[in-house]
């Protein structure tokens, strides 16, 4: 019911929304919860396990009951707290975890079976017969479990991530937070004030409080106006700080677009990374429920929530309201309601010694023994100092005291401390470095106390920041002491008393857990699932701890507490993963020939973040293999052009460049003549092959190293390490030039002819030579190297000319019967020639395995040499690189067996790493690793690929199939 004239909502802007298909009206400034309560909707959800009817318990993000699905186009967002979701025109909400309807939920039957569904019951049953678990029991459990549903469709909405830096981060904008922010702002510090709520002010806008004689909300507005005008202050409403991480880093979730209809590019949420020099935590406190039989009915709410709905939204959720409390502060609820003309039936104070001040019946030493009302509260039964009684009431406000919101102070393993006088945990000092708690989250509950705390915390932060603190007057506000006598549960009654509403954990479950010796607080939590629901125990952990302490005969401090972990509120994957969807997960690298290749219809494949052409289809070719075969033959018989710019290129200079290369390569580069190129093998320090490639000596003190595409970054980091760790004083400098040059392979018997047309004369370059050339006025570099086994060149030009050169080379090749070739053909060509790639040097390969142990120079040290000599790294037990030749297809990943052996792990002789159909040799070829393989050339081996149903015999050969002597290379 909405009260006239109360609340801070914008009554000039009514909005229409739906809940479960029915249309309702609210006002801008309402949450879904306040608007539903204003419309007298009390039943909003069903509980997790027993499917109990549930209403709205709180007015904040800790809400355990009122979770709904928000519908939006073909999307739906599950588990949205009605207490946080703001209403807007067109908002569509739906209840969840019920079938067929909220009022009549078939799984409500679980409630009747509750005796058999006690804590941990599933560990004790469903074991027999075994197959029934996956086939019957588990599917039933899975279907029943869960809360809301995802749409199952890609979430393609906009999300955002951003960074912010500040001197002081203030978390929470209640009196403590505002005071801290205001003080630091006056001192000139850069301040971020983050507030979870849409409206700043905390309890100042939710309670009937006066500051400096003004209504709290007015005082807040005036201060916010001042803060907004300051360039060093950033106000972040709707922003929940979700986690405290090392060195002043905080995660925070801003609800950017959730309170309005979607708009193009408007993010739903933004995940902030805030880096703060100092932090003041002014996160307030959370009121806690009291356990009594059937304390979970719709209409039973937290006392402070009632005050929030009254003062903030002008809403009262009942006509006949009762209050139960164990502390003085909560009794303001009754007074405020009565002042607003609402009927308060009675106040039940659990304390025997409390005083009765209010103008309504007050029962002392009161304990609720039962409640009634199926879909909403209708009555309570209780005992009190003078006997027992039943009252008709449709709304019960409860207050079991307050828990400081210590959560963020636990994120770095800080353990909160129990304070007996307030019966609550407060943050341990220094729990998060550079963070000072202030106000209610630090156990200071009066408004004046919060102001004092906020000021003091600001002073602490400013001192740490090295800024003088300004003189600030403390606002005048109430300063009542907080008095509480703990009361956790109604003793000596039957019936279930809920602790964790969301997970349906009752005091019985906690007691059972202790009975079964799950007495450690962690065991209790895990056994009962207490505190593992969406509210993460914010409403229930302390009471559950008290019940456990009672059941085990220990005190609360001895019982300990479970750990709060990030995030403080559930945080969407999409927000924290903003930017990752689609191609955003990793940078895309494009070749200069990219468009030219795509123009020719080449399918592109991903390789080390690059996109490379797979093959260049010609009209009439139906499969990739046809194109590939043609391209291979083209290279073998004429000339092919391929973009090899993705290979890593490192310019290495200095008087010690040669010495440096000798250290990082197994073989020797100091002896390489200028103008020549040498193949090099690089090991990791653990003796396995890191990478291979060619390195050219461009000048006496200058080399150009080539790495594989995949290992380019790895090699650069390795070189940096070897240099900085072992020879920082050497005269050597190196830098990647991968991006600076576009480089094209020109391979085949007519490669030289092609170059002759391009350069005006055939290049006179020996095999493994390098020279500078000019293409018109463009400087270029020509290498005579080959990865195909044919006479081959690589021509490099500054990248800006890459596309033009590629198009030119391809056009020239085509006049000679040649053309471009892609990765598929490149792979076949190299397999025919027995050249290895990272399919073979897969990280477990040694130089010995690939037959290159002689490349490990005996004359010098190199990285990896010592470890490569370990007995396990060499010898006939190791699998050695061989070629395989067969008349039918083989597959990479097939395993190898000696013909006649049983196919089993223990008889495994090795495996295939690369395969191809060789159009050149008209045979199926493979590269493989075989135990003692070099001694087995000429023998047969059985190739078995269970996954692809291959079982063929192959001949073991030398890995070089084509032009073993290298005559073509050197032609």
Name residues contacting another protein, limited to 574-603 (CB under 8 A): 574, 576-592
Which of 610, 660, 835, 917 lies at the binding interface for another protein (CB under 8 A)? 610
- Specify the 3-state DSSP secondary structure of 611: strand
User: Contacts with another protein in 745-774 (CB under 8 A)?
Assistant: 758-760
Whole-number minimum distance, CB 724 to another protein, in Å?
Answer: 4
Residue from 313, 660, 741, 821 touching another protein (CB under 8 A): that is 741
Q: How do strand 733-736 and strand 191-194 relate by DSSP bridges?
A: unpaired
> Residue 267 CA to chain centroid, in angstroms?
18
Q: Name the one range near another protein by CB under 8 A: 100-108, 127-135, 443-451, 615-623.
A: 127-135
One of 2, 42, 238, 411 touching another protein (CB under 8 A): 411
- Smallest gap from Cβ 477 to another protein, in A, equals 32
Among 25, 92, 151, 857, binds another protein (CB under 8 A): 151
Report helix, strand or coil for 557: helix
Cα 105 to the center of its chain, rounded Å? 35
C-alpha to C-alpha distance for 518 and 533, rounded to whole angstroms: 19
**Cβ nearer to another protein, comparing 570 with 966:** 570
Q: Residue 91, class by beta-carbon neighbours within 10 Å (0-12 exposed, 13-18 middle, 19+ buried)?
A: buried
Tell me how far, at minimum, the Cβ of 927 lies from another protein, in Å: 11
Compute the distance between CA of residue 837 and CA of residue 479 in angstroms, rounded to an integer. Answer: 75
Q: Which of residues 520-539 bind another protein (CB under 8 A)?
A: 520, 522-523, 526-527, 529, 532-534, 536
Q: Which is nearer to another protein, 271 or 382 (CB)?
A: 271
- Least spacing, CB of residue 779 vs another protein, in Å: 9
Q: Is 116 in the site for another protein (CB under 8 A)?
A: yes
Structure tokens at 884: 């395989």
Residues 826-845 close enough to bind another protein by CB under 8 A: 838-839, 842-844
Q: 735 or 971, CB closer to another protein?
A: 735
Residue 484 has phi, psi (to 5 degrees) of -150, 145
Q: Which is nearer to another protein, 455 or 823 (CB)?
A: 823
| Shorter beta-carbon distance to another protein: residue 174 or 648 | 648
Of 816, 820, 791, 823, nearest to 805 (Cα)? 820
Pairing of strands 320-325, 343-349: parallel
Give the range of 87-95, 393-401, 462-470, 945-953 binding another protein by CB under 8 A.
945-953
| Total Cβ atoms within 10 A of residue 778 | 13
Q: How far apart are CA 97 and CA 66, in angstroms?
A: 11
| Angle at which helices 175-186 and 447-465 cross, to 10° | 30
CB nearer to another protein: pick between 389 and 889 = 889
The beta-carbon contacts of 124-130 under 8 Å, at least 24 apart in sequence, are: none
d(CA 424, CA 404): 7
Q: Classify 851 in phi/psi space as left (phi over 0), alpha (psi -120 to 50) or beta.
A: left
Residue 778 contacts another protein per CB under 8 A: yes
Q: What angle do CA 320, 325, 331 make, to 5 degrees?
A: 70
Size of the residue set binding another protein (CB under 8 A): 192
Q: CB of 816: closest distance to another protein in angstroms?
A: 16
Whichever of 89 and 606 has its CB closer to another protein, that residue is 606
- How far apart CA 415 and CA 427 sit, in angstroms, is 7
Options 174-182, 269-277, 465-473, 918-926: segment touching another protein (CB under 8 A)? 269-277
Stretch that binds another protein, among 253-261, 349-357, 390-398, 664-672 (CB under 8 A): 253-261
For the CB of residue 963, give the shortest distance to another protein in the complex, in Å.
25
In the bound state with another protein, the residue whose beta carbon lies nearer, of 379 and 759, is 759
Q: SS3 of 331, please?
A: helix
Instruction: Show contacts with another protein in window 233-252 (CB under 8 A).
Output: 243, 245-249, 251
Q: Which of 74, 388, 517, 887 binds another protein (CB under 8 A)?
A: 517
Residue 503: both structure tokens together: 């997970």
Least distance to another protein, CB of residue 467, Å: 14
Vertex 532: Cα angle to 531 and 538 (nearest 5): 40
Cα gap 895→138, rounded to integer Å: 37
Could you tell me which residues are beta bridge partners of residue 169? Answer: 192, 279
Nearest-approach distance from CB 967 to another protein, in angstroms = 31
Smallest separation, CB 330 to another protein (Å): 29
Contacts (CB under 8 A) with another protein, residues 471-500: none
Q: Are 63 and 82 in contact (CB under 8 A)?
A: yes
Is position 607 an interface residue for another protein (rule: CB under 8 A)? yes
By CB under 8 A, residue 545 contacts another protein: no
Of 18, 25, 75, 485, the residue at the interface with another protein (CB under 8 A) is 75
Task: Examine residue 800 and tell whether it contacts another protein (CB under 8 A).
Answer: yes
Give the x/- contact pattern for another protein in 632-671, rule: CB under 8 A: -------------------x-xxx----------------
808 binds another protein (CB under 8 A): yes
What 3-state class would DSSP assign to 912?
strand
Among residues 14, 78, 188, 966, which is the contact residue for another protein, using CB under 8 A?
A: 78
Q: Which of 420, 606, 901, 951 binds another protein (CB under 8 A)?
A: 606
Least separation, in Å, of the C-beta of 247 and another protein?
A: 4
Rounded Cα distance, 324 and 330, in Å: 8
With contact defined as beta carbons under 8 Å apart, do 936 and 909 qualify? no
Closest distance to another protein from the beta carbon of 12 (Å): 19
CB nearer another protein, residue 117 or residue 379: 117
Q: Which is nearer to another protein, 104 or 721 (CB)?
A: 721
Rounded Cα–Cα distance for residues 262 and 714 (Å): 44
313 binds another protein (CB under 8 A): no
**Residue from 66, 87, 164, 362 in contact with another protein (CB under 8 A):** 164
Q: How far is the CB of 591 from another protein (least distance, A)?
A: 7
> Which residues within the stretch 707-736 sit at the binding site for another protein (CB under 8 A)?
717, 720-721, 723-731, 733-736
Task: Classify residue 87 as exposed, middle or buried by CB count within 10 Å of its CB (0-12, 13-18, 19+).
Answer: buried
What is the smallest separation between the CB atom of 426 and another protein, expressed in angstroms? 21
Beta carbon of residue 218, minimum distance to another protein (angstroms, whole number) = 24
Q: Name the residue nearer to another protein (CB basis): 389 or 775.
A: 775
Check binding of 799 to another protein (CB under 8 A): yes
Nearest to another protein of 212, 861 (CB atom): 861
CA–CA separation, 70 and 414 (whole Å): 36
Total residues found in the chain within this entry: 971
Nearer Cβ to another protein, position 339 or 869? Answer: 869
SS3 415: coil
Rg value, the chain, Cα: 37
- For the record, the structure tokens of 831 come out as 């397999």
Q: Which of 152, 553, 673, 900 binds another protein (CB under 8 A)?
A: 152
Q: Provide the b/e sequence for 523-561 (b: ≥16 CB within 10 Å).
A: ebbbbbbbbbbbbbbbbbbbbbbbbbbbbbeeebeebbb
């Amino acid at each position: 019911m909405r009260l006239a004239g109360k609340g801070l909502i914008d009554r000039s802007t009514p909005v229409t929304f739906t809940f479960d298909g029915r249309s309702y009206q609210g006002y801008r400034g309402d949450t879904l919860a306040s608007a539903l309560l204003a419309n007298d909707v009390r039943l909003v959800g069903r509980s997790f396990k027993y499917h109990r009817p549930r209403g709205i318990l709180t007015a904040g993000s800790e809400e355990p009951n009122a979770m709904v699905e928000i519908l939006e186009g073909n999307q739906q967002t599950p588990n949205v707290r009605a207490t946080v979701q703001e209403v807007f025109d067109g908002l569509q909400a739906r209840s969840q975890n019920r079938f067929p309807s909220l009022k009549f939920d078939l799984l409500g039957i679980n409630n009747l079976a509750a005796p058999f569904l006690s804590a941990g019951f599933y560990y004790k049953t469903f074991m027999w017969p075994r197959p029934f678990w996956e086939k019957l029991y588990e599917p039933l459990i899975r279907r029943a479990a869960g809360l809301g549903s995802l749409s199952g469709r890609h979430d393609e909405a906009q999300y955002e991530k951003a960074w912010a830096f500040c001197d002081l981060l203030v978390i929470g904008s209640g009196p403590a937070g505002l005071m801290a922010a205001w003080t630091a702002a006056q001192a000139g510090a850069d301040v971020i004030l983050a507030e979870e709520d849409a409206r700043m002010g905390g309890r100042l806008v939710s309670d009937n409080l006066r500051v400096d004689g003004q209504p709290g909300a007015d005082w807040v507005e005036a201060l916010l106006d001042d803060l907004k005008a300051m360039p060093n202050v950033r106000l972040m409403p709707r922003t929940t700080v979700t986690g405290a991480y090392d060195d002043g880093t905080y995660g925070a979730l801003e609800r950017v677009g959730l309170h309005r209809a979607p708009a193009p590019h408007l993010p739903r949420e933004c995940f902030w990374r805030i880096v703060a020099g100092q932090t003041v935590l002014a996160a307030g406190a959370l009121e806690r429920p009291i356990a009594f039989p059937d304390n979970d009915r719709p209409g039973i709410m937290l006392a402070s929530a009632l005050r929030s709905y009254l003062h903030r939204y002008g809403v009262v959720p009942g006509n006949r309201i009762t209050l139960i409390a164990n502390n003085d502060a909560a009794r303001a609820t009754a007074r405020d309601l009565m002042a607003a003309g609402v009927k308060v039936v009675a106040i039940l104070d659990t304390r025997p010694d409390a005083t009765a001040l209010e103008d309504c019946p007050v029962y002392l030493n009161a304990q609720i023994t039962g409640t009634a009302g199926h879909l909403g509260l209708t009555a309570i039964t209780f005992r009190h100092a003078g006997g027992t009684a039943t009252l008709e009431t449709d709304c019960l406000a409860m207050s079991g005291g307050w828990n400081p919101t210590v959560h963020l102070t636990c994120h770095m393993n800080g353990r909160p401390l129990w304070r007996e006088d307030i019966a609550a945990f407060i943050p341990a000092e220094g729990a998060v470095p550079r963070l000072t708690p202030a106000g209610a989250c630090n156990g200071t509950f009066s408004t004046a106390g919060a102001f004092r705390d906020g000021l003091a915390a600001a002073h602490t932060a400013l001192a740490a920041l090295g800024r003088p603190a300004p003189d600030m007057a403390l606002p005048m506000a109430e300063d009542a002491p907080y008095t509480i006598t703990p009361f956790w549960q109604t003793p000596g009654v039957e019936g279930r008393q809920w602790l964790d509403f969301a997970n349906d954990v009752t005091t019985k479950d906690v007691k059972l857990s202790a009975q079964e010796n799950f007495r450690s607080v962690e065991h209790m939590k895990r056994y009962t699932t207490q505190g593992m629901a969406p509210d993460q125990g914010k409403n229930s952990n302390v009471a559950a701890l008290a019940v456990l302490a009672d059941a085990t005969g220990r005190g609360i401090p001895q019982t300990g507490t479970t750990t709060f972990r990030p995030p403080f509120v559930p945080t969407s994957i999409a927000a924290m993963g903003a930017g990752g969807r689609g191609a955003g997960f990793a940078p895309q690298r494009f070749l200069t020939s990219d468009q030219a290749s795509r123009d020719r219809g080449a399918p592109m494949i991903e390789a080390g973040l690059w996109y490379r052409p797979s093959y260049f289809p010609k009209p009439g070719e139906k499969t990739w293999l046809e194109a590939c075969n043609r391209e291979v033959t083209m290279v073998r018989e004429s000339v092919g052009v391929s973009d090899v710019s993705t290979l890593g290129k490192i310019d290495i200079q200095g008087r010690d460049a040669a010495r440096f290369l000798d250290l990082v390569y197994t073989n020797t580069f100091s002896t390489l003549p200028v103008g020549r190129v040498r193949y090099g093998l690089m090991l990791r320090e653990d003796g396995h092959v890191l990478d291979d490639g060619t390195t050219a000596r461009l000048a006496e003190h200058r080399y150009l190293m080539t790495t594989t595409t995949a290992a380019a970054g790895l090699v650069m980091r390795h070189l940096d390490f070897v240099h900085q760790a072992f020879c920082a004083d050497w005269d050597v400098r190196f830098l990647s030039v991968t991006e600076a040059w576009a480089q094209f392979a020109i391979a085949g018997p007519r490669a030289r002819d092609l170059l002759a047309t391009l350069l005006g004369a055939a290049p006179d370059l020996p095999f493994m030579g390098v020279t500078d050339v000019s293409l018109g006025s463009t400087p270029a570099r020509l290498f005579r190297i080959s990865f195909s086994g044919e006479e081959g060149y690589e021509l490099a030009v500054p990248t800006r000319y890459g596309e033009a050169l590629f198009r030119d080379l391809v056009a020239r090749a085509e006049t000679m019967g040649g053309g471009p070739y892609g990765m598929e053909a490149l792979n076949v060509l190299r397999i025919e020639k027995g050249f290895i790639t990272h399919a073979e040097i897969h990280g477990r390969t040694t130089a010995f395995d690939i037959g290159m142990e002689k490349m490990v120079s005996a004359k010098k040290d190199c990285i990896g040499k010592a470890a490569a000599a370990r007995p396990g790294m060499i010898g006939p037990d190791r699998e050695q690189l061989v070629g395989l030749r067969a008349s039918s297809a083989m597959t990479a990943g097939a395993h190898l067996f000696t013909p006649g052996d049983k196919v089993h792990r223990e008889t495994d002789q090795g495996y295939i790493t690369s395969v191809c159909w060789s159009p050149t040799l008209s045979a199926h070829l493979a590269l493989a690793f075989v135990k003692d393989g070099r001694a087995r050339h000429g023998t047969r081996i059985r190739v078995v690929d269970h996954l692809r149903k291959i079982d063929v015999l192959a001949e073991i050969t030398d890995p070089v199939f084509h032009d073993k002597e290298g005559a073509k290379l050197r032609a």
